[in-house]
Structure 1
Amino acid sequence: MDEVHERRLTEILRQSFGHSTFRPGQLEIIGGVLSGRNTLGVLPTGGGKSVLYQLLSLTLPHMTVVISPLVSLMIDQVQRLKQNGKQYAVYLNSTCDAAEMKQTLQEIRGGKYKLLYLSPEKLQQPYVRAMLKARGVSLFAVDEAHCIAQWGHDFRTDYMRLPTIVEQLGSPPVLAVTATATMDAQREIAELFSIHPDNRIVQSMNRPNIAFERVTVENEAQKRELLLDDLRKLTGPGIVYCSTRQAVETLVLQCRLSGIDRVHGYHGGMNGLDRMLVQEQFLRGELDVIVATNAFGMGIDKPDIRYVLHYHAPASLEAYVQEVGRVGRDGQPGYARLYMLEEDVHIHYHMLGAEYPEENRISQVLTWLGAHQRESIGLQELAEGFDLSENQAELIFFYAEQCGLLDGLAPNRAGFLFKMRKTVTPETVRQISRLIQNAKWSKLHKLQQMTEWLSSQQCLRQGLLRYFDEDGQQEGTLPCCSICGVDRIAYESVREPLQAKVVRPWDMKEALRLLLPVYPPGKEEGNVT
């Protein structure tokens, strides 16, 4: 990239995003995309991945499409842009009703937006793809691209269909970004999107300002008391991660009974509006602590989070790095603590056991489909009929398509449209079962790697770097972990206790006004070219 283009991009960065310089790797990634090359960017948590496609959308002639795995992530990013007067971004996801969907599609066709956030599931809809093809797509960005890795920690079947859709949209340049991709995951992403090794820009995942600590507890009561004591002492704001919704609700109640009032729970069982309002309260500093499952935090733009406490260990080191990566994005010292109770690992073994269908269930489903010659079926109907979860049913359909058993697989409102290409045989069932079991064993292996890291007597930071195939010594700005030594005083509060803070009364109308800002004519920021 020549100096003139670099200056122009830096000026857009300053005017539109308030940053005077690019972070490491950003300019190189942007240059690759502007040259028409498919590019993979692996940047650390808080390393500025969203700025890449947001800035590129201002420089490219047609739409920039961003595939995002979480509704909350899409909503948060679009809200932040709109609150800053940037009206060129919009999302389409399950929170949009039929009227909103119709209006948004009309506005996209009319050229109102330059940046569109979509879930991979929504992109499977033929009318959405047709609209995008007619509108024109200049960039196809895949956020949290580790979801593509078939044996990764957060595999989503609809991500595997994205390369075919890119071709249908005229093969625009692809930008895949993630913070947590091992070398194997990087290779799989690059293979799917034909990304040349020279176009993989990989920065260190090391966050030197975060100190890592683990503490062993003997029972649940001791763990709970230790957590409550930490919440009273640590400088906030912070996040507490749990593996189950029940644990979230129990801990929130315990906090409030203990006088810690500026705390709220967050999990996937809450309705969408409640989750949005809790998230907004936390972002505005009206809550000190969020107790959450892993449904919270991805892509959240709050740079001053000071700590993340893990009440339960995550199921993989990738998930751990994602979650602790919410700490200290402002560059100030951050603290990550994990409470180790030996029996907690059984939570994940139980969840894994329920996540994947057994071979006899696979056989029953496929045999029934073959016998009845159905061309469509609802996921709920299939799940209830064969005692499966909807995720298990989706996995069976995905791998049946991969093995050539199904053809023309497409989602509809209830489930899938499809055609049976060949007769179901015992060998086909075994083949699909092997693929599903391989995915299960991959997650089990990641869980074992997580437990090995927790029991290691070597530097925790170095263990994380080795897992992500990084060599060399990486130092922290403070004593880096409980093996090397952590000075807790650096992270403890010298201010008034959490429960003593004065809280401004919650005003729902004001919160909704901030969530959904309305700008007078002529005051909104239009397209930048």
Structure 2
Amino acid sequence: MRHRRVNGVDNLKRLRQLAASKLKELAGLGESNGQAYEANDWDTPVVVPSKDSSDWDNKLAQLVSAKQQGKQLGSVAKPVSNAKTASVKSASSTNKSTGNAKPVSASATTSANVPAKPKRAVNSAKREAYEKQKKADMYAELAKIYGYTKFRTGQYELISSILDGRDVLGVLPTGGGKSLCFQLPTHMIQGMGLVITPLISLMRDQVEQLNKRGYPAAFINSQMRPAEVNKIMSDTLQNHRYKILYVAPERLDSRRFVNFAVQLPISVITVDEAHCVSMWGQDFRPAYLRIPEFVKQLPSRPVIAAFTATATPQTRQDIIEQLDLHDPYIGVTTFDRPNLRWYVRECTSENMLMGELFEYARRHKGCGIIFRESRAGCVKIAKYLASRGVNAQAYHAGMKPEERTRIQEAFISGEIPVIVSTSAFGMGIDKPDVRWVLHANVPKNLEEYYQEAGRAGRDGKVSHCVLYWRKSDFATARRMLSKAGEGNEEMGMIDTAVMRFHLMKMLDAVEAYCEATPRVCLRNVLLDYFGEHRTDRCGQCSTCHQFEKHPLKLWW
């Protein structure tokens, strides 16, 4: 259980929240969803309506007026809670002569600014009209920036919640459109967005794509020279040049960056690969645990949007707690990807494994990725395949940055069709036509496997995911997990023991997947692991082929 520090500020915040809650209770209202959005101008705050009918009249009048003047309505303001609405309205009313509203800080709010008791009968027609306008703006911006006419499953609800000023946790499978869920509302909202991601390749690729679409974006990472970082900071702070900025979680530990960030109009903080905050996740990174402390140093709390492709129910709850999400909207789409074909193949020796990998790469055309845990293993497989006529290249974190970049670009362009890599590759790579993904050794857990295998078939076409395994792989993995947490001074003996037990249970799930009998559908094993229960068989995986007495060579 986490113990939150309590001080004078927290007590004052609790008293304000209690007062606001009491007002809502007396008014007969629940939690407000009446937060609105403003024009895409950092220097022009707009009055944000509460649930009062007159406020909705004012906002609708603004929308209609802006439409008549040909202004863009696809921009949403930094959400302002109802507790702050009265302050903004008060400031607006005192500046009507100039036509510019000046927001009042929370610290400057006095009892005179306490919002009046809301009307019990809210004009739902006004609210519906407002929501209709917001929906129209969302679709307009979707078409303008991305060229799409409709949202994928789960996207609309997540984006709408962010625009309403609500924290969100989005769990969408690889290829499900997670990036659009935070890029679009960040573009529409007043201020700018900060995206926290551990994937340098994702930063580079997404920023490049956004800039091509006319969406000003930039990134800061450890591979950049100090002069380049200074230029981006200057352009962001002084010229308001960028609408979205990508950084690694470790960047938040820099005092210089914190001093820079507190001067920015940050409206949304996106935490990508949010499972990294969970000790029970496959990619735990301690820097993610310090994100809430970074948020507390900002002048005002922005919306926090967390996204991941793989998270069990336990991991989801851990994300909510560790990132301190406030009453988040949780959007979880199906983990089922019907275009993927799941197979397991037992190998009794290293020679058999090498032969299987070569035969598969030779017979199956198109681009593919082979995952191997060790760097030496990647190089060995790549050289073996190349010696037998397969155009393959090794890739791992031990290579120089420029060499990794060259290989990534060659793979994306199709110049190199086969990559043999550690888990360092594939994350954040935008290549939709990967036709197959092979694992040359067992992963540590099914979350890791699902995410890496999910690099295949992002274009929706049939693709294969094959897991080659040996009994000795599990023995080796268990020896490694038995030493997990060694040298971590922040973890006590009990925490270390609990973590090791949990990691062992996750490995047991992988073993059960590999040893599944023909009576069990592999797709259903994966879905069940993520809390999605199905009884119908996919009819396409290796166990379904065996169950239906089809020869295995049908898929081989």
Is 1:454–2:493 an aligned residue pair? no
- Matches of 1:249 and 1:350 in 2, distance apart? 24
State the match for 1:439 in structure 2: 499
Is 1:157–2:256 an aligned residue pair? no
State the match for 1:100 in structure 2: 228
Any residues of structure 2 matched to 1:108-127 within 5 Å, and which?
A: 108-110=236-238, 111-127=240-256
Which of 365, 376, 386 is matched with 1:235 structurally? 365
Distance 1:474 1:92, change over 3 A: farther
SS in 1 for 2:434: coil
Any residues of structure 2 matched to 1:72-83 within 5 Å, and which?
A: 72-82=201-211
Distance 1:175 1:482, change over 3 A: same
Any residues of structure 2 matched to 1:324-363 within 5 Å, and which?
A: 324-353=453-482, 355-357=484-486
Deviation at 1:142, TM superposition (A): 0.4
Distance 1:96 1:469, change over 3 A: same
Give 2:228's aligned amino acid: E
SS in 2 for 1:306: strand
Cα root mean square deviation, aligned: 2.0
State the match for 2:23 in structure 1: none
Deviation at 1:88, TM superposition (A): 1.2
Give 1:445's aligned amino acid: K
Distance 1:474 1:21, change over 3 A: farther
Which of 393, 400, 411 is matched with 1:282 structurally? 411
The alignment's TM-score, normalised by the length of structure 2, stands at: 0.72
Distance 1:129 1:474, change over 3 A: farther
Structure with greater contact order relative to length (CA < 8 Å, sep ≥ 6): 1
State the match for 1:309 in structure 2: 438
Which of 255, 258, 261 is matched with 2:388 structurally? 258
Cα deviation, 1:238-263, whole Å, max 9, x if unaligned, reads: 111101101100011001110112x2
Q: Which runs of 5+ in 2 are unaligned?
A: 1-129
State the match for 2:9 in structure 1: none
State the match for 2:217 in structure 1: 89
Is 1:247–2:377 an aligned residue pair? yes
Cα deviation, 1:49-78, whole Å, max 9, x if unaligned, reads: 011111122112212111102222222222
State the match for 1:467 in structure 2: 529
Any residues of structure 2 matched to 1:17-416 within 5 Å, and which?
A: 17-82=146-211, 84-86=212-214, 88-110=216-238, 111-169=240-298, 170-195=300-325, 199-261=329-391, 263-353=392-482, 355-357=484-486, 392=487, 395-396=488-489, 398-399=490-491
- Matches of 1:19 and 1:85 in 2, distance apart? 13
Give 2:333's aligned amino acid: Q
Deviation at 1:475, TM superposition (A): 5.9
Deviation at 1:159, TM superposition (A): 0.6
Distance 1:239 1:141, change over 3 A: same
State the match for 2:41 in structure 1: none
Deviation at 1:29, TM superposition (A): 0.3
Deviation at 1:487, TM superposition (A): 8.4
Identity %: 35
Give 2:348's aligned amino acid: E
State the match for 2:3 in structure 1: none
- Matches of 1:74 and 1:356 in 2, distance apart? 30
Distance 1:291 1:434, change over 3 A: same
Contact 2:378–2:395 (8 Å) recurs in 1? yes
Is 1:8–2:68 an aligned residue pair? no
SS in 2 for 1:299: coil
- Matches of 1:473 and 1:2 in 2, distance apart? 39
Deviation at 1:266, TM superposition (A): 0.9
Distance 1:125 1:27, change over 3 A: same
Distance 1:487 1:180, change over 3 A: farther
Deviation at 1:91, TM superposition (A): 1.1
Cα deviation, 1:290-312, whole Å, max 9, x if unaligned, reads: 11110011121111111101111
Contact 2:268–2:305 (8 Å) recurs in 1? yes
Distance 1:198 1:433, change over 3 A: closer
Contact 1:305–1:327 (8 Å) recurs in 2? yes
Deviation at 1:459, TM superposition (A): 0.9
- The structure having more radius of gyration, on CA atoms, is 2
Q: Which runs of 5+ in 1 are unaligned?
A: 358-391, 400-431, 493-529
Distance 1:265 1:201, change over 3 A: same
Deviation at 1:3, TM superposition (A): 2.5
State the match for 1:417 in structure 2: none
SS in 2 for 1:177: strand
Aligned length: 419
Distance 1:135 1:260, change over 3 A: same
Deviation at 1:4, TM superposition (A): 2.2
